[in-house]
A and B are shown apart, each in its own frame.
Chain A
Amino acid sequence: MAAKRLKESPSQTAGPYVHIGCTPNFAGIKGVYDGDPGAKMLTDTVEGERITVTGTVFDGQGAPLTDALIEIWQADALGRFGTMNSGFTGWGRCPADQSTGAWRFDTVRPGASSVGAAHIIFWIVARGINVGLHTRMYFPDDPLLDSDPLLSLIEGARRETLIAKEVSPTVFQFDIHLQGAGETVFLDV
């Protein structure tokens, strides 16, 4: 007898007020939760090279999304996902700035995993985005880029959309374009 198969709950947009539920302190709703989940990725004892990753999500008219919510998931400095051994959760959540749209994560530079170049996994939700968008950010100076199994599926110009710009040795900028000539590669994971 075949097991009964259910369908995944259909997605709906996060809408303009996602901050109320996911980052209430940021939204000015104080005193309900101690802090906003994912606001702090690092502890004082974290191993690895500390970096800042920043950027903005842009719509098809070049306007910054000032109501987006960004989540990231990444390996620790040794390339391990989901280990808490190094005082690092690997998960971050940041609302876009409500006037500029900029977001920012203070994290550690991930190590390469067994299956490709080091990267940070992104998930973007906002008003107007009906199904949350997955993508990845890679590092520009990484010698493993050319052998990465995902990057090798993507042709030249589009591949560049997944590679951050180095602002300084510890600051990387990763702008995300929802549409247009520089539309970011989004993933079906």
Chain B
Amino acid sequence: MTIGALSLYRPVWEQSGNRVAGQDEDVLTLAVAAARPLAERHAVERVVVVTGTPDVVVGFGTGVVARALDLAEDAPVELRLGGAPALLDAVLSAGPGSLVVGVDLTGHAAASGAAWVTDGPGAELTAAGRVTGSLPMRVRAVGADHTTTYGDGRVERELATVPLVGRLRSADAPLVVGISPGEARRLGARSAALPAPGPAGVLFALAEASSWPGGTVRVVALDAAGGAAADFRPGPVEVVRDERPALSVDERPAVGEDVVIPFSMPAYARAFDAKIGMVAATCSCGETSYPPRQVCLNCGRYDDTRPTPLRRTGEVYTCVKVHVPIPGVAGPYGLAIVALDDSPVRVLAQVADVGRRETGIGERGRLVLRRVAVREGVPDYGYAFRSEFDAAGKGVPA
């Protein structure tokens, strides 16, 4: 299998040295954050999202992923449950044109990555062993808030980690995902700073290995009693990183009082394609409307339009910060009207990843998919404005 490109995403919020998700992020938005840069650059025929920590199982927004990535109508999006080994399995079994996305999302670490599989140039990944065992050191039942951990780390080390690494490694020091850097050293493994131990961690490890001098690297992915190994032969892999300077989680907007926000499924459905795909309507006279409208305000024609994809970059026309606590909305939050590039269209969006800093008129940035609200239990996705300035007011790539 050939990996042509890798994309890595970490949320901006930092807590105890780790990055954690924003209040407007979930497995789906983390997946899109990593996948979108590759979908913009390459033809994607199918998407597999691998996560060991699904937050939505029934009603997962595969359609949201498809529209947010501008996939073809018939492109399948699959949600697969599993840890680091499952990510290696997914890449090894993927055909050219596949995008394999890994998401780690827990209360203390969040990251995502994506790999684009190609039949063109890239880095080769070859299967090198698989072990499936049972040592349920950590268990989280569906609906449970916390994970139950068997309280003896040496049991995992002696019964799982040591024998698994022994069986899956090659003669050279392997790169192991799913164990701490200290454990890796003790086992004579190569060390890499990985933001998360699961599926996303594997993709960060591959990106790390792609820059190492020398030949093939054995990658071993562990998940308690299971493990998978693959040989990664570095090649021309494009690596895209979206890792902004950290912002303390103390500045992360938070929901104060909670409330059930009314939701209309028909209104959601009517808005969906244009909203999540960011597709405007252009009348035969040239007038562009977003959201698409039936009657052209320029020439009066009725429903004579073609869909027009919008750019996701633009400039703030006006913006405000909402300081007053609004029940059910994480705050303080910013609202901005953003004039999109190369288009007469402006969009209203919440401001993402900004902390205490106030966004200013004229700031440039990008619209990114976020979970804008949860209404009557239904996650509602849309676009938020992410400035090209970080929290300190310094420029970062949009």
Are A and B part of the same complex?
A: no
Binding site for A on B (CB under 8 A): none
